[in-house]
Amino acid sequence: MRMGRRLTCMALWGILGVSAGAGQTSRQAFEKQGGFIGPDAGLSFARRHQDIHAAPSNPAFDVLSYRLDLSLAMVNEDFAGRNQIALVMKLPADSLVLYQLKLTIDSISVNGVQRPYTTNDADERFTVRLDSTHRAGDTLRLIVAYRRLPGIPRLTDRLGYYYFHDTIPGLPANLGYTMSEPGDARCWMPCYDEPWEKATAEISVTVPQGYVAASNGRLLGTTLNGDGTVTWHWKEGHQIATYLMCATVSKFTVPVSTLARGPGDVIPVEYFVWPRDSAVTAAYIPTVKQMITNLGNLYGPYPWDKYGMSSVTPFAYGGMEHQTITTIHEALQTNQDVVVHELAHQWWGDLVTCGSWPDIWLNESFATYSEALWRETLGGPVALRELMNGMLGFGNGSWTGAVYNPEGQGLYLFSDVVYSKGAWVLHTLRGAIGDSAFFRSLRMWRQLYSEKSAVTADFQSAVESVMGRDMSWFFDEWIYGPGWPVYSIASDWENGTLSLRIAQQQDQGWPTYAMPLQIRVYTGTRDTTLTVRDSLRTEDFRFAFSTRPDSVQLDPDGWVLYRAGTPISPPFGTGTPLSFSLRQNYPNPFNTSSTISYIVPGIVSGTDAPSGVNLTVFDLLGRRVATLVDERQSPGEYLVRFDGSVRASGVYFYRLEIQGGGGTATAVRKMVLVK
């Protein structure tokens, strides 16, 4: 799922009718923040969510299937429903405990017999008393008739079902949709509302004629009821978690194409959109099909019977990965990052679902990294690195936390730590174990937990089964540990020996990382790549090297998530720093200010004598907007702050030029200012 900054930014986009078309928005325009803002916002979403998720992790039953009938008049937010829940007992029990919130239950029957029940909005559950103690293995059929009635106070960001009237400027028709992640399915249907509990689902939605109702799975057909209504029948025959079930209703048109996954295996690929968006989304479907094929090549074939997207506004999120039918903000319906992110969730989040909310990174980090993998298929390693550098968020407060269990650290469940930082952790894992092992691990992950839920320890086991060795060193540092490494490197060469010193300068409360690190050594027109196993706060390495290198570079291909530290002394002798480097600014994109780091090498002058250093910022038209450095500097590593508070949003370039000893070194990088 992708969110906007909050409703004040993203959903107001839709209310005002702004359309992004096929253009690309800034990543930060649709990072997750929160849901609809209302007068109840005094208690944080994270706290409310944490309070309600004290459910037993081992209920007395397994849900087998849901058969849900919804009736939506499409004139207000009220509705009526009937949910038939088939379940099998795992343990002896004389009662059943399920979830509902702010629903009015009219009746409950078990195996055709009416049963007494109690509801408790404080813990968001209801209890059904059975006629006797049922044994393990008994199958029960629960039928719950219910309604959502007006006049009942509700949290405005936990309605479950959202209704908007066409009187909103720019809204072409009445609109209703469900939005359940993480725990709001209970707000529009009685169910067992936890991510580890999956079942099949049939969803029938009755609406006035002229409305289209999109939902999970394949369309079985429509029924004209003779009273001015039509019922849309959908069936998801695969296992699905309740937060991934949905219904989206408006006066949609449906641009559709087909995708052949193999001989005789054809699935529909479709958009549910308003007529104003029909042409642009129809033209974008071939790109969506290419995304499905390319992700299938990486992860295994697309797993479901269709792929669709319902385009809506107002919507407080960028998109939501409902199984087989993503709900996407109209302004982002052809945004490649958002589209491929939600599509990737069909594998990671829907097919394999996080087994608990502390494991949410297994959904969101994987989908976010898929954005980078899609860019890689289009533009190769350069495009991959460009997007990954754009994800760097050292200035984001949540990044100091661990990827695992954001709420347990006092963070919002959907903080960027489980998005961009988690994606960087996966990228670092890929660099550490190599492409073959990384993608085999993902396929093993899929094979072991297809249509199931799993937790972080299960993913670690999948990687270990591929690697054939313990991987706790990586998971302990990168998944369960806070922060990130801060590396500094110094180098010199004397008498045929290249000496390297690597220092880890991160906070003492953060892990000391045991990582394979690549060092590239440049000599004339040749380069040599060395791999060291760095595992100490300061560690020295020596290599036989017959000629004096021109420069050295840490992590030259950009695989490791790290921040540059402060300069350190070379390890042996009196040699000078060898590496010339202009690093990517951080954060990037940035708001107001960003930091640029660079290394002045001794090799430019061949001695420790100062070199002439010029660091300048230019706009897209090549106009100089700032001179950050123009002086002579001794060899070493430097940090410079660029203040963009008086600059307009946009793309800027910064150029480093170092002169000395008859030599000149120049490098240019791009940065993005977003306000």
Residue 538 is part of a domain; what is its CATH number?
Answer: 2.60.40.1840
Q: How far apart are CA 181 and CA 35, in angstroms?
A: 10
Q: Tokens 């109209």, residue?
A: 330
Picking from 434, 439, 438, 404, the residue whose alpha carbon sits closest to that of residue 421 is: 404
> What is the model's pLDDT at position 41?
30
> What is the model's pLDDT at position 515?
96
Amino acid at 543: F
| Other C-beta atoms lying within 10 Å of the C-beta of residue 468 | 7
The verdict on 534 and 601 lying in the same domain is no
Structural domain boundaries enclosing 393: 357-476
DSSP tag of 523: E
Q: Which pair of structure tokens corresponds to residue 296?
A: 């299938």
Strand order in the sheet with 486-494: 538-544, 497-504, 486-494, 563-564
Amino acid at 387: L
> What is the model's pLDDT at position 25?
35
The verdict on 349 and 260 lying in the same domain is yes
Last residue of a domain, one of 538, 564, 579: 579
The verdict on 369 and 434 lying in the same domain is yes
Its sign, for the CA torsion 501, 506, 512, 518, is: negative
Last residue of a domain, one of 309, 325, 354: 354
Q: How far apart are CA 608 and CA 601, in angstroms?
A: 9
Distant-in-sequence, close-in-space partners of 222: CB < 8 Å, separation ≥ 6: 230, 231, 232, 233
CA distances from 397 to 82, 123, 587 (A): 44, 31, 12
Last residue of a domain, one of 579, 599, 631: 579
> What is the model's pLDDT at position 42?
31
Q: How far apart are CA 358 and CA 354, in angstroms?
A: 8
Stretches in the chain below the pLDDT threshold 70 = 2-58, 572-579, 602-609, 661-663
**CB 67 within 8 Å of CB 199:** no
CATH number at residue 622: 2.60.40.2550
The phi and psi torsions of 224 (rounded to 5 degrees) equal -80, 125
The verdict on 306 and 448 lying in the same domain is no
**CB 572 within 8 Å of CB 499:** yes
Distance spanning both ends of the chain, measured CA to CA? 23
The verdict on 315 and 411 lying in the same domain is no
Picking from 54, 186, 53, 63, the residue whose alpha carbon sits closest to that of residue 126 is: 186
The verdict on 521 and 665 lying in the same domain is no
Helix (H) or strand (E) holding 461: helix 456-467
pTM, two decimal places:
0.82
The verdict on 532 and 656 lying in the same domain is no
DSSP 21-36: TTPPPPGGGG----S-
Its sign, for the CA torsion 280, 281, 282, 283, is: positive
CA distances from 116 to 63, 104, 140, 147, 642 (A): 20, 14, 15, 18, 67
Q: Which pair of structure tokens corresponds to residue 98?
A: 């399920």
Q: How far apart are CA 32 and CA 15, in angstroms?
A: 19
Amino acid at 652: Y
Q: How far apart are CA 70 and CA 233, in angstroms?
A: 10
The phi and psi torsions of 517 (rounded to 5 degrees) equal -120, 135
Q: Which pair of structure tokens corresponds to residue 284?
A: 């974008």
pLDDT in tens, 262-281: 888 999 999 999 999 999 99
> What is the model's pLDDT at position 662?
56
Helix (H) or strand (E) holding 212: strand 212-215
DSSP 205-273: EEEETT-EEEESSEEEEEEE-SSSEEEEEEEEEEEEEGGG--EEEES-B--EEEEEEETTEEEEEEEEB
Q: How far apart are CA 274 and CA 226, in angstroms?
A: 26
**CB 606 within 8 Å of CB 662:** no
**CB 510 within 8 Å of CB 504:** no
> What is the model's pLDDT at position 151?
86
Q: Which pair of structure tokens corresponds to residue 105?
A: 């239950």
The verdict on 571 and 594 lying in the same domain is no
Number of domain units in the chain: 4
Crossing angle of helices 435-449 and 278-299, in 10° steps, is: 100
The verdict on 340 and 413 lying in the same domain is no
CA geometry: angle at 131 spanning 127 and 135, to 5°? 90
Q: Which pair of structure tokens corresponds to residue 498?
A: 């290249």
Burial of 133 (0-12, 13-18, 19+ CB in 10 A): exposed
The verdict on 442 and 337 lying in the same domain is no
Would you put residue 524 in left (φ > 0), alpha (ψ -120 to 50) or beta?
left
**CB 615 within 8 Å of CB 533:** no
At 137 the three-state DSSP class reads coil
The verdict on 471 and 490 lying in the same domain is no
The verdict on 79 and 27 lying in the same domain is yes
> What is the model's pLDDT at position 176?
98
Amino acid at 242: T
Q: How far apart are CA 438 and CA 224, in angstroms?
A: 51
CATH number at residue 336: 2.60.40.1730
pLDDT in tens, 433-490: 999 999 999 999 999 999 999 999 999 999 999 999 999 999 999 999 999 999 999 9
Q: How far apart are CA 98 and CA 102, in angstroms?
A: 14
* b (16+ CB within 10 A) / e for 640-672: eebebeebeeeebebebbbbbeeeebeeebebb
Among the residues of 308-451, which ranges form H helices? 336-345, 361-391, 420-433, 435-449
